[in-house]
Structure formats: structure tokens, C-alpha cells
């Protein structure tokens, strides 16, 4: 297992690496909330649907909420639906309305 930032990656057939994403998937920095720090990482990965999910940085795969190999407006909506704000913990038992963590 390889660690990259707050993500852990499992090596399968050396490479590719498969990320073990945080829960919820949009808590990019793994600090328990979904805020502007996570959004900054989302922006790095945003492709708009025109190109596949970037392989660098590796964590971009975690933002592909639909599994359609792009980071687009649908993924942005999923991000927004799970946003809590800085230092507001994400409650797994009571997620924000519309959030599918």
C-alpha cells in the first residue's frame, strides 16, 4: 500500500494504483469536513467532461462520483451536495440533503 497525501493506494499489477478514497469521497484532505480546502483539490482535477480523469495527481479518481472517467458538472453537483463548511464535521449518520457520500 502506498500513501499519497491523505489517500492510500493499493498496488495492483504495479502500477496502476487504485485509490482508497476518503469517506465522504469529497473530503479530499481527510479532516472530517467538506470545505474550500477540499474544493481547491477538486478544481485541480476538474476536466469538464472533455478529457478523462487525470492520473496525476492520483487522488483525482476519488472525485469521479459517477464512475464515468471525467470530473465534470455532475461531480461538482455531488461535491456541493456534500459540502459542510470549514470545521463542520461531516455526519455519516445524517449527511447533507442530496449527498451520496
In this prediction, residue 15 carries a pLDDT of 55
In a domain, 19, yes or no: yes
Q: Is residue 34 situated within a structural domain?
A: yes
Q: How many domains, in total, are found in the chain? A: 1
3-state helix, strand, coil in the chain (%, to 5): 25, 10, 60
Model pTM above 0.75: yes
Of residues 2 and 46, more confidence is placed in 46
Whether the per-residue pLDDT at 97 is higher than 60: the answer is yes
Answer yes or no: is 100 within a domain: no
Please check whether residue 98 lies inside any domain of the structure: no
User: What's the mean pLDDT when you consider all of the chain?
Assistant: 84
Has residue 56 been placed in a domain? Answer: yes
Interval 24-59: pLDDT, tens:
999 999 999 999 999 999 999 999 988 898 877 878
Amino acid at each position: 500500500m502506498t500513501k499519497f497525501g491523505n489517500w492510500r493506494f493499493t498496488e495492483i499489477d504495479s502500477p496502476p494504483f487504485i485509490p482508497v478514497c476518503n469517506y465522504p469521497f469529497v473530503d479530499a484532505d481527510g479532516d472530517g469536513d467538506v470545505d474550500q480546502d477540499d474544493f481547491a483539490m477538486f478544481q485541480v482535477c476538474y476536466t469538464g467532461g472533455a478529457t478523462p480523469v487525470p492520473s496525476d495527481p492520483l487522488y483525482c479518481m476519488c472525485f469521479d462520483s459517477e464512475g464515468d472517467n471525467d470530473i465534470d458538472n455532475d461531480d461538482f453537483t455531488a461535491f456541493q451536495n456534500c459540502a459542510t463548511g470549514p470545521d463542520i464535521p461531516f455526519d455519516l449518520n445524517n449527511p447533507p440533503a442530496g449527498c451520496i457520500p
